[in-house]
Amino acid sequence: MESPMPLTARALLLDMDGTLVNSDAVVERYWRIWAAEQGLDPDAVLQVVHGRQAHATMAALLPDRPVERNLADNRWMLERETTDLDGVVPITGAPAFMAALDGLPHALVTSADDGLARARMGAAGLPLPAVLVTAERVGVSKPDPEGFLKGAAELGFAPGDCVVFEDSEVGIAAGRAAGMRVVGVGPRAAAHAPDAHVTDLAQVRIEALPGEDGLRLHLAD
């Protein structure tokens, strides 16, 4: 059953991990290694790693740790995650969702760097949008809104004309701080009060509106 009040937008801004791509298996492998090396509880660490760039998460977990060590560990993690694609699969409904967006304004806004974004989207069999806002292209990680604001600007739309799809607490906060409406995807998102929520992308139907009027999102209850 679809929601009686569909959302309209001129453009969509899409997070990757947890939203389009399920990469939890890889993320868990390397964060467990890192947590054990720091003497931290891996299960507790995994509760806060989603959505941010790795070095920003490390700084939040260990605020007195030198920035240089966090950046070095960030590089270590990116190198391994980019080549380890075992278990990387599309979120349910993501292939049809991306196919429906072909020719409509949308951008990928991710805390992954360019290499990791391309590797994971490729492993999941998903097409890359023409506009990519990756970690190298922002000065501050989510929950800062910079990435979403940059994506909207590159697509040529005002923030209020955009809808964000996100799964994490920091991503939802970033979309909200950018002045955009947010559709939460999956179980992590439900707890953080997005404007709308779906279990997965199979619950989203995209309707292209006439001319340049954008698109309408029909969301299943």
Catalytic site positions = 15, 17
In SS3 terms, 173-221 reads as HHHHHCCCEEEEECHHHHCCCCCEEECCHHHEEEEECCCCCCEEEEEEC
The set of residues, in sequence order, having a beta carbon less than 8 Å from that of 13 and lying 6+ positions away, is 106, 107, 109, 148, 151, 152, 162, 163, 164, 165, 175, 180
Q: Quick one: CA torsion of 27, 28, 34, 39, rounded to 10 degrees?
A: 150
Backbone angles phi, psi at 32, to 5 degrees: -65, -40
